[in-house]
Structure 1
Amino acid sequence: MTDAPARPRPEEFASGRPVVFRNATVITVDSQGVLENADVLISGETIAGVGPKLEVPDGTLEIDASGGIVMPGMIDTHRHMWQTALRGYGGDWALSQYFVFYYLTWGEVFRPEDIYAGNLLSALESIDQGVTTTLDWSHALRTPEYGEAALQAFREIPGRFVLAYGNYLGAPWEWANSPEFRKFVTDNFNAPDDMLGLQLAFDVPDSEDFPEAAAFQAARDLGLRVTTHAGVWGATTDQAITHMYDGGWMTDEVTYVHASSLSPESYQKIAATGGTVSVATESEQSAGQGYPSTWEIRKYGIPASLSMDTSVWWSADFFSAMRATLSAFRSRDHLDLQSRGETVNVNRLRAEDVVWQATMGGATALGMTDRLGSLTVGKKADVVLIKNDESPAMTPILNPYAHVVYQAGTADVHTVVVDGRVVKYDGERIGLPLAPVRDKVAASVDHVRSTMGEEAWDEWMHPQIPEDEQIANPYQYTEDD
């Protein structure tokens, strides 16, 4: 029996020395599957070895991962990060109230510094929870100045981010082709950067003339992927898919967010053109875009990734995303079969599938399967250790996939590595205090709240609920009984 490696000190991780996780249960999400009592070696920015009893260079920092699970960093493919500054404010909203609040009523009160504050908090939260790559569906970038503010937050937090540039108060066919936006792209994305990417984010509501075609053309001209909310009940329908398909804009570089209320023909078009779907199960269950689409798109072979949508409603907890997605799929299977007098004898979607969606599914949606999503030698070193020696829920680990989905939680995220850099160790972030971020968010909240006024602030936080109509009950006792 060998002694456990000496416990590294946080300051040692800044040295750039190789790092090895020892004696872990390793979920590789590649052809190796799950390895017991195995090691993962990181050298520089990449994964240098995966397997048992790895030989490592002299001076390698060793992390005792026994009793824990090492897995790839998780990937969120759709989060409105700027809205994190109003965390939980809209927890009782319906989707229409969300639209009215941001799109029609209060959208113009948000300043570039509010985008910055929300993104900063969300970015810090992402890496803290083991989400090493996050796509920021940033639909409040009214001018390039707002975009610069969003990017500034990403430059201060050592995570991997994709800015999906959008403007919900503008026409995408106009802003995507403006000289100001083109200059923003040239100034900030003039060279490939694995740590910071760019996409276009816009939606295609029902219309006869389909002006969004010019935004798709802009994306094509700039070599950018597109992410779009599709299949949102009553907002983006099959008509949008028809326009996109007939115009030749549906390719494997388009991600369809939600895709929860589309026809079989629309799903077939997505599948035929190589598109992917970003499923935000907690959002779809609560806001009513349609039933979470994982169950439906599986029939057509469409790859799914996972997302948390917005913290103005829900959390950014990716363990919750996996759990909700698997549970929603199984609930739909039960309802489908029970409606025909049958029962589920075998679960068709397994925990392993959902872990894939949270990792390789995200890499697929971002076009980065050659770099991210699995613990494969040569890929970028985005690695998470889930370990908590004092948590009853972390012992025993018998089915690693099911353990990640149904047993582990954010409190069990022990170590996080992004691009070879250890940003969290033993449950604590390294050199990333919350206080300065919290102060910026507090200032942003104060601005929004004071601009709205206390009465409006309270009314929007607590929307009136219509009274339920009570059904008369004939089963009542009387004095004669």
Structure 2
Amino acid sequence: MTGPILFRDATILSMDPAIGDLDGGDLLVRGDRIEQVGRNLDTPPDATVVDARGGILMPGMVDTHRHMWQTALRGLGADWTLSQYFVFYYLNWGKIFRPEDIHAGNLLSAIEALDAGVTTTVDWSHGLQTPEHGDAAVEALRAVPGRFVLAYGNLLGAPWEWANSQEFRAFVDRHFTSRDDMLGLQLAFDVTGDAAFPEKGAFEAARELDLRVTTHAGVWGATGDDGIRLMWDNGFCTPGVTYVHAATLSEDSYQRIAASGGTASVSTESEQSAGQGYPPTWQLRRHGIPVSLSMDTSVWWSGDLFSAMRATLSADRSREHLEAHAAGETVVHNKLRARDVVEWATIGGARALGLDDRIGSLTPGKKADVVLIKNDRSPVMFPVLHRYGHVVYQAGRGDVHTVLVNGAVVKRDHQLVVPGLDRARAAVEATVSYARSTMGEEAWQQAREPEIPATEVIPNPYTYTDYTGDGVAVQHADA
């Protein structure tokens, strides 16, 4: 498509209170911006018209926590617990990933995100053992016309060291001397709870570089309340921090996050299955902590936000029922609504990234990140009686018809129109072959089908520190 693009006769979920929802609505894109939203808009003479009848038009979705490099081993950990994930990546095999393997996973994940209507993704890239690994991650993200944020991390290195190294600063100078909203940068590291608070140096580096921080917090047995308290006491609980999972924290920690203006990234499928803790939206809502959604990693879960929205709404309601039943009561009104999780998947994610002035809603003047959900061949796509409920409980990635990022069409008529899928397939095949041969067949089969032996304890999965406090002890099956 060249010239203006006019979406005609859609059910529009603008996520902008001033515009609201429109039945039979139109949306005009010119260049990289949304120009108009309304009904019966005039058609510019050079416009491409997209027939959106029977479809739902919404902002591009925003994933605030995805380990994109792990997509190269998609589905390998289907039967893992979180402890087995730690064993595989943190203790045994994370160190074998080469820069080209980071590139392969990122390339596939980036293309997959666009296919599912996820127009902005935070690459929680904690496999960057060297700046060359970081270069490979950036190259892959730049090769795909999506909107990305590289959250730079290194699960095998001490964050207070790598964040202040000359090599990392040179990496920043190479790729991020000028900021643009197609590829941003954050720091990604965890706070173990060591009373010495060695992570202070990493927070200071983020402050010096004017970067947001994203951290796994409230993860059962790994990161807990001590880390939040240390951040608070040292002045690093700020609006620029995203707390990933935030599932097993105390009242004090939630109060600190709320008071500081921090946000939470919830990965419900991961929290439910891997064991970080019960998905915490029921607690986050109570404390007024802004929520965004994420899918975590394709080594486990599907790389789309339809499943994340569905799982999140269901988990929150399940908790409401369980709490009520424990008190001998019955829930008669659902507090969390379908609209809320669609908001978390769009403008909520944009707010968490500080990009809500540019993306996250279908507002004239904002960047044209737009998703049309429409599938005339599917019996699931009609009737559309509850707009938000249809997005959450009925639609799926196969119903994503058209996707625009920054005004450019990346998917049309259910077909990706971006290059690179064959290249990604070849690169991932090479990574799988390399990983399998390097691990050896026995270890590879154990990873695919872990046994269920007696459990033992990893005192600390973070190998760059000897800290073994109460908040850092992981039960695991040694597989």
TM-score bucket (shorter structure): over 0.9
Among 18, 26, 33, the residue aligned to 2:4 = 18
Secondary structure in structure 1 of the residue aligned to 2:169: helix
SS at match of 1:106: helix
8 A contact 2:294–2:308 mirrored in 1 = yes
Distance in structure 2 (CA, Å) of the matches to 1:190 and 1:69: 39
Which residue of the other structure, out of 364, 367, 390, is the alignment partner of 2:377? 390
Residue 318 in 1 paired to residue 337 in 2? no
- Amino acid across the alignment from 1:417: L
Amino acid at match of 1:217: E
Is 1:345 aligned to 2:343, yes or no? no
Does the alignment pair 1:126 with 2:122? no
* 1:325 Cα deviation from its structure 2 partner: 0.2
| Match among 153, 156, 160 for residue 173 of structure 1 | 160
Deviations 1:319-351 (A, max 9, x none): 000000000000000000011111011000000
Letter in 2 for 1:245: W
Once the two structures are superposed, residues 256-282 of structure 1 have per-residue CA deviations (whole angstroms, 9 ceiling, x without a partner) of 000000000100000000000000000
Query: Following superposition of structure 1 onto structure 2, how do residues 268-307 of structure 1 map, counting pairs within 5 Å?
Result: 268-307=255-294
Tell me the secondary structure at the aligned position of residue 315 of structure 1: coil
| CA deviation vs aligned residue, 1:404-458 (integer Å, no higher than 9, x gap) | 0001011100000000000100000114352221111000110111001111110
Q: Does 1:117 align with 2:104?
A: yes
Cα deviation per residue 1:110-161 (whole Å; 9 max; x = unaligned)? 0000000000000000001000000000001011100010011111111000
Query: 2:78: which partner in 1?
Result: 91
Corresponding position of 2:475: none
Secondary structure, counterpart of 1:180 in structure 2: helix
Cα distance, 1:108 vs structure 2: 1.3
Query: Of 206, 217, 223, which aligns to 1:236?
Result: 223
2:44 is aligned to: 57
Secondary structure (helix, strand or coil) at the match of 2:344 reads helix
Is residue 192–residue 224 contact of structure 2 (8 Å, CA) maintained in 1?
yes
What TM-score does the superposition give when structure 1 sets the normalisation length? Answer: 0.93
Aligned-partner SS, 2:372: strand
Mapped pair 1:199 → 2:190? no
TM-score (norm 2): 0.94
Q: Does 2:151 correspond to 1:141?
A: no
**2-structure distance, mates of 1:460, 1:188:** 35
Residue 390 of structure 1 and its aligned partner are, at CA, apart by 1.2
Counterparts of 1:182 and 1:440 in 2: how far apart (Å)?
29
Equivalent residue number for residue 164 of structure 1: 151
1:36 match: secondary structure: strand
> What is the CA distance between 1:248 and its match in structure 2?
0.2
The CA deviation at 1:466 is 4.8
Q: Return the match for 1:42 from 2, 10, 29.
A: 29
Matched, 1:29 2:4: no
Q: How far apart are the structure 1 equivalents of 2:397 and 2:211?
A: 33
CA distance in 2: counterparts of 1:81 and 1:107, whole angstroms: 14
More displaced stretch, 451-460 vs 218-227: 451-460
Letter of the 2:206 counterpart: A
Aligned equivalent of 1:3: none
Matches within 5 A, 1:393-408: 393-408=380-395
The answer to whether the 8 A contact 1:206-1:235 is kept is: no
Matched, 1:452 2:439: yes
Which amino acid letter does the alignment assign opposite residue 28 of structure 1?
S
Residue of structure 1 equivalent to 2:94: 107
Q: Which amino acid is 1:91 matched to?
A: A
After TM superposition, the structure 1 stretch with the greater mean CA deviation from structure 2, 54-63 or 227-236, is 54-63
CA contact (8 A) 2:313 2:338 kept: yes
Take 2:197 and 2:400, find their aligned partners in 1: how far apart are those partners? Answer: 45
The Cα of 1:107 is off from its aligned counterpart by 1.4
With 179-188 and 119-128 compared, the bigger mean Cα shift is at 179-188
Mapped partners of 1:185, 1:109: distance in 2: 24
1:330 corresponds to? 317
1:79 alignment counterpart? 66
Amino acid at match of 1:426: D
In structure 1, the partner of 2:137 is 150
Q: How far does the alpha carbon of each residue in 1:46-88 deviate from its partner, in whole angstroms, 9 at most, with x for none? A: 1000010112322110000000000000000000000000000
C-alpha separation in 2, matches of 1:452 and 1:83: 16
Report what 2:169 is aligned to. 182
**RMSD of equivalent CA atoms:** 1.1
User: Aligned residues, how many?
Assistant: 454
For 2:319 and 2:240, the matched residues in 1 are separated by 29
What amino acid sits opposite 2:7 in the alignment? F
2:217 alignment partner AA: A
Distance in 2, Cα, partners of 1:380 & 1:204? 35
- Tell me if the contact between 2:69 and 2:105 (Cα under 8 Å) persists in the aligned partners: yes
* Matched residue, 1:309: 296
Instruction: Classify the secondary structure of the residue corresponding to 2:190.
Output: coil
| Residue 9 (structure 1) aligns with | none
Residue type of the alignment partner of 2:427? K
**Counterpart residue type for residue 234 of structure 2:** G
Amino acid of the structure 2 residue aligned with 1:120: L
Hey, which bits of structure 1, 4+ residues long, moved more than 4 A?
none
Equivalent residue letter for 2:157: G
User: Which of 1 and 2 has greater Rg?
Assistant: 1
One-letter code of the match for 2:426? Answer: D
Paired AA for residue 385 in structure 1: L
Distance in 1, Cα, partners of 2:276 & 2:141: 29
Counterpart CA distance in 1 for 2:28 and 2:419 is 24
Query: What is the CA distance between 1:317 and its match in structure 2?
Result: 2.1
| Residue 226 (1) aligns with residue 241 (2) | no
Number of the residue aligned with 1:436: 423
Of 50-59 and 83-92, deviating more is 50-59
- Matched-pair identity in %: 65
